[in-house]
Amino acid sequence: MPMTADLRSVTVLVPGKLHPHAVERIGRTFRMVCIDQSDPALVTAELRDKVRGIAASPAVDKSFLGADFMHALPNLEIITNFGVGYDGVDAVYAGRSGIVVTNTPDVLTEEVADTAVGLLISTVRELPRAEAWLREGKWVSKGNYRQSPLTLRGRTVGIFGLGRIGLAIARRLEAFGLAIAYHNRRPVEGVAYAYHATLKGLAQAVDTLICVVPGGASTEKAIDAEVLAALGKEGVLINIGRGTTVDDDALVAALHGGVIAAAGLDVFAEEPNIPPILLDAPNMVLLPHIASASVHTRKAMADLCVDNLVSWFSQGKALTPVPETRHVKAK
């Protein structure tokens, strides 16, 4: 298997925005070229001939690395995706075309799980509202903030997507003394949590639903009016996966109608544009997609993104290929 001795001779394309640490490392390790977005019209004859790698954050800049863009780069070998979710990349097409796609699992698992638990507690105990009460002087002028109608005590948690992050969340919530159940496409080996074959069945069995699944057609609006009704009037929904998984209209109607009790969201379908119906909904805690957004974790993600490039072009193997492209071998 031939390896590239001089990585500076390898052209890596960065379409759109990418973490500065990743950009700095790519710039001093490879021949880096940046373009505004993943638009085939921006691919020059030189790029067409020379680009062998792509490093991108398609979920961040709302671009899509699709078949047309990959087709415009016939010498492309690898796409390193900054983030665990890679629905911004057509990985199926990449796999069929001999292009490996990588993501950044594990390095953000604990940070995201921490945020999920923090969002759950903030939602149930109304912590942002309580802080606003203090800051607005109402503690002095109107007295104590109200007792929160909800509590974490005695809750049963259902996790939609028991992968690495889902398991990390489950471990944390077990320490809170909470019962755990889950729904995946199939049961996870080696776990004792109750498995439910359908999402509605999971929602019926719990009063707290945490969504951790990736985006894509198979999960689009999976949490709909029927699932929310099954969750019930004491129900709490937490979403740290992808905004497209929740039917926003159904969620808002459920909150206004008392179908569920509260919701906490860190992700949205059209980030950063949040629909007014969500901003105005009652009993809602909203975060600007910060689950992995610590300096420590984002730097680790950037390093893994670049390490995949280095490993591919120096050793002929990717460190964290996504399932659709694990079969791809270096040319």
Please list the active-site residues: 242, 271, 289
Instruction: Quote the CA–CA distance of 288 and 38 in Å, as a whole number.
Output: 24
On whether the CB atoms of residues 12 and 53 are closer than 8 A, the answer is yes
Contact 266, 289 (CB under 8 A): yes
Residue identified by tokens 């707290």 is 208
Q: Which strands make up the sheet holding 194-195, listed edge to edge? A: 194-195, 179-183, 156-160, 208-211, 236-239, 262-265, 284-286
Largest CA distance in the chain: 74
